[in-house]
Amino acid sequence: MKPLFSTFIIISLLFILISSSCTKSNSPILPVSIVGKWKWVSTYHDYPLSATNPSTPGNSGIEEYVIFNTNATWKKIQNNVTVDSGTCATGHGFYQPLPTATKYVYDSVKYYNSLQGATWDYYSISKDTLTFSGGFAGLYGSDSKTFVKQ
């Protein structure tokens, strides 16, 4: 009788340990913060291949910054002139067209302005580099635009 009781106790403890370690967190996954001033360094276009692909400040004559503020406002400055601005919101999501397909996990920023209404970009941040690309969300034929933090 005693070995049966010991086995029952061990199995019960293992069950409790396994079930408690598999609980799902209800904490939301937050997007990586893009707050700050970012300087444009290049834009890669899928096509056409040319001497100006990727586009850079050096071969385009454009110096560009994008600024994201803590109060959910943003602006784009080209050659010291504000060319676009408004409010914004960031998000985190995923896209998986089929259960067996690649799962694209991405962060996104949705821009609001009076001229275009709402538009959005998908982004990734690695150290001090911010890259926008639809490819992060599984969009085919997506260009990428890269900035460095100032």
Domain ranges of the chain: 29-149
CA atoms within 13 A on the CB side of 2: 0
pLDDT of residue 13: 47
Q: Do 88 and 103 form a contact (C-beta atoms < 8 A)?
A: no
For tokens 């209800």, name the residue.
26
pLDDT (tens place) for every residue of the chain, 150 residues total? 556 555 555 555 445 545 544 555 566 677 889 999 999 999 998 777 787 889 999 999 999 999 999 999 999 999 999 999 999 999 999 888 888 998 888 999 999 987 778 888 999 999 999 999 988 888 876 789 999 999
* pTM for this prediction: 0.76
Q: Do 88 and 109 form a contact (C-beta atoms < 8 A)?
A: yes
Q: Do 95 and 137 form a contact (C-beta atoms < 8 A)?
A: yes
Cβ-proximal residues to 27 (8 Å cutoff; 6+ apart), any chain: none
Q: Do 71 and 64 form a contact (C-beta atoms < 8 A)?
A: no
Identify the CATH assignment for 29-149 out of 2.40.128, 3.40.50, 3.90.1200, 1.10.3470.
2.40.128
